[in-house]
Amino acid sequence: MKYLSTRGSKELKTSAQAIIKGIAEDKGLFVPESIPKMPEKLAEIINGDKKLNSFGNNSFQNQRVLDSIKYKDVALEVLKVFFTDFTEEELSYCVNGAYDEKFEKEEIVPVVKAGHGYFLELYHGKTAAFKDMALSILPYLLTTAMKKEKEDKKICILTATSGDTGKAALAGFADVPGTEIIVYYPEQGVSQVQERQMVTQEGSNTHVFAIDGNFDDAQTAVKKIFSDPKMNKDLEEIGFKFSSANSINIGRLVPQVAYYVFGYIKLLEQGAIKPGEKINVTVPTGNFGNILAAYYAKEMGLPVDKLICASNENKILTDFINTGTYDRRRDFHLTNSPSMDILISSNLERLLYHLASEKANCDWGKNCNHSDAGKEISALMKSLDEEGKYTVSEKIKQGMKDFIGGYVDVNKTNETIGKMYSEHNYLLDTHTAVGYKVYENYGKETGDTKPTLIASTASPYKFAESVALSIGLSEEANGFDYVRAIHNKTGIAIPKGLQDLENKKILHTGKATPKTMPETVINSLK
Ligand SMILES: *Cc1c(COP(=O)(O)O)cnc(C)c1O
């Protein structure tokens, strides 16, 4: 399996090379030349395998087979078909290092039924957000890739964060030999808990800066630094190379495919669905990485019908899905689901590329170089840069017919948290509440009652103030008091990483603007 750029340059990379590079030279994102088929072992389970059925109607046996499937097994099978240049031993090493006791739940990703939904709880890792699912394994993949490619330079990981990626990347890369990690977060755009998580990060290779600007400003500046020849040269002189821990890195995207497959198997195990039965997936969306992973799972053969893309008031994706026009010329809103306060959703480029090239007059990779699709995507991205918008072709629009877009505002988000808690005794964070409400609206409008997995992307404790006020608690002085208040009321365990946060030493106080970011890179590495 080779990787190519969404913007059509002819160079093919191995997955190890693509993971090290992070972003392609022509500024495109790396995509697999084809989306692989579901590995047989998993397909057999998903679709009801003959061998399972040959246990007769003994559902007890089926149950045992299902029960015995661990998250690590699913992750390994999925990684094997995408990262074919890694050996099985290498991938096992990565998977075993990542999905261990760092996670506070033994099953790694529990699936919990509440209200009309099945919540895929992705937030039980070290930093209490779904970003841990990929960022606990990325350092293993990257360092293994460096060994494979005999990379002699050190890697400087530049990361723009809307709040959760930053901490998860810092935690993943802290003191990893051969790497330095620099994180930029929007000073006004993250919760108090999120900010404190980042500025207290230990590790001699960690660097954190508050940016005067929003996430889009930080992400745009980071992408610019990546592709700036002078920056790359300066870095090379001091023995470094850039890579990315954002979801533009394919090494972050692919591990996310695994949990949709795992979630489906959990639904089977719980008896919520029959083998092969179609489900829907709902994802609270920002940079479009998480929902793209669900799309990859669907394309591999996971029985998924609709992909419900939920947004907050920054509803650029809702508008895009409904009209085919992506228009970023609009006001940016700061909401209480800050990880979705994004107007330039990077990973959408990958979906557009897949759809543009899908039914091109050639087979993936073999008989043509996909330069037509690459040209088409380059033109769209240029238009986004220069005019602030683009409109996709009818073919791409048709290709998106299983995507449903919807959004809810802050009031509805808070109301949803309150209602879910009072009616079902289940506590949602603000992002997950956006997802749930959009899903509920979709269900009401269409009458579609298929079982639906809802990506539950953060612990409610990360957005303690909104969550506390939504379940009727009174105002407190700061974010940490809200954490205690929620705990007193609900009894839900506070994630370990958040327990002692208030008393941790603040280690990072750096500030930057999009303009001064290049200097901060060089200074951090000196
Ligand atoms: C990052 C994040 C999202 C958005 O995920 P994307 O992959 O960027 O679409 C949603 N919720 C939370 C809590 C997040 O941290």
Q: State pLDDT tens for residues 78-127.
A: 999 999 999 999 999 999 999 999 999 999 999 999 999 999 999 999 99
Q: How far apart are CA 26 and CA 5, in angstroms?
A: 8
pLDDT, mean of residues 28-37: 95
Q: Are 190 and 338 in contact (CB under 8 A)?
A: yes
Of the listed ranges 187-191, 239-243, 324-328, 474-478, the least confidently predicted one is 187-191
Q: What is the pLDDT of residue 59?
A: 55
CB atoms within 10 A of CB 34: 16
CB atoms within 10 A of CB 56: 8
Reported confidence tier of residue 142, pLDDT bands at 50, 70, 90: very high
Q: Is residue 21 flagged as an active site residue?
A: no
- 419-449 tens-digit pLDDT: 999 999 999 999 999 999 999 999 999 999 9
* Cα(370) to centroid(ligand 1), Å: 30
The helix-helix angle for 138-148 and 88-98 (nearest 10°) equals 150
H-helix or E-strand spanning residue 137? none
Instruction: Determine the straight-line distance between the first and last CA of the chain, rounded to whole angstroms.
Output: 37
Q: Are 406 and 446 in contact (CB under 8 A)?
A: no
Report the candidate in 523, 8, 38 with the shortest Cα–Cα distance to residue 275: 38
Q: Is 459 in the pocket of ligand 1 (CB under 6 A)?
A: no
The values of phi and psi at residue 121, to 5°, are -80, 100
Pocket test for ligand 1, best of 457, 459, 463, 498 (most atoms within 8 A of CB): 457
- 344-397 tens-digit pLDDT: 999 999 999 999 987 544 554 455 556 789 999 999 999 999 999 999 999 999
Q: What is the pLDDT of residue 495?
A: 97
**Residue at token pair 């037509």:** 372
Burial (CB count within 10 angstroms: exposed 0-12, middle 13-18, buried 19+), residue 43: middle
Q: Is 190 in the pocket of ligand 1 (CB under 6 A)?
A: no
Q: Are 313 and 340 in contact (CB under 8 A)?
A: no
For 458, which DSSP code? B
* Cα(181) to centroid(ligand 1), Å: 20
Written as six digits, the tokens of 461 are 């404790």
User: Helix, strand or coil for residue 116?
Assistant: coil
